[in-house]
Amino acid sequence: MNMIFRTISGFETICLTVALSASITISVVGVFFRYVLNNSLGFVEEAAGFLLLVMVCVGISAAVRKGTHLRVDMLIQFVPKTKRYLDLIADIIALGVMTVLLVFAVQFVASLLVSSQRVTSMYWLPLGIPLIIMPVGYLATILRLLRNLSNLLKQRNGDEIDDKDDDQTGQITAKRRTT
């Protein structure tokens, strides 16, 4: 199972690095062509939009892995014992939302691939191809959330499952809280 999560971590890292680098490069080239050469490139805006979609869909999974999603933790500060239960509730809700998004994304991308709808400025590219990243990112997020839920359910009183470094070691260890 750890091999799957290491593969997902590698996929996330590569996708996010390539998408960010390509987005910056395409934007700089687009600005150069538009303002220096007075000749704009038609595909820049759509390509940057697709790359942003890659960063968002894959970034959701990476944020779940690192535990860096936005949270309101005021209640946890006042009543620290509720953290585990609130994390459990938050992960269940996120899992439900991601499952719904996955179902809709698969249906949407499948309908685009069947209809062979094309991107306007890149007519050679079927619209469904760059949008395949949506269900892939949602599926990776679902797997991460299932792992988080599994870890939360395995926790005993005072134990904290540490799997933040799964992409380096592939090991999950339990740490005893000293507070």
Are 151 and 172 in contact, with CB atoms under 8 Å apart? yes
Strands (DSSP E) contained in 16-148 are none
Q: Is residue 167 part of a domain?
A: no
Angle at 63 between CA 172 and CA 112, to 5 degrees: 120
Q: Is residue 165 part of a domain?
A: no
Q: Is residue 97 part of a domain?
A: yes
Are 23 and 44 in contact, with CB atoms under 8 Å apart? no
Q: What pLDDT does 159 receive?
A: 54
Range of the domain at 64: 2-153
Structurally, how many domains does the chain consist of?
1
Q: What pLDDT does 153 receive?
A: 86
Per-residue pLDDT of the chain (179 residues; tens, 9 = 90+): 688 888 888 889 999 999 999 999 999 999 998 888 888 888 888 889 899 999 999 999 998 888 777 666 666 777 777 778 888 888 899 999 999 999 999 999 999 889 887 777 777 778 888 899 999 999 999 999 999 888 888 876 555 555 554 444 333 444 434 44
Task: Specify the DSSP element, H or E, that contains 159.
Answer: strand 159-162
Q: Is residue 160 part of a domain?
A: no
Cite the DSSP H helix spans in 32-43: none
Q: What pLDDT does 161 receive?
A: 53
Q: Is residue 139 part of a domain?
A: yes
Q: Is residue 176 part of a domain?
A: no
Closest-CA residue to 175 (of 2, 165, 69): 165
CA dihedral 128, 142, 17, 66 (to 10 degrees): 160
Angle at 13 between CA 68 and CA 144, to 5 degrees: 50
Q: What does the block give as tokens for 85?
A: 């239960």
Are 152 and 163 in contact, with CB atoms under 8 Å apart? no
Q: Is residue 172 part of a domain?
A: no
Q: What proportions of the chain, in percent to the nearest 5, are helix, strand and coil?
A: 70, 5, 25
Q: What pLDDT does 9 receive?
A: 87
Distance between CA atoms of residues 112 and 45, nearest Å: 20
Q: Any residues with CB less than 8 A from the CB of 156 and at least 6 apart, and which? A: none
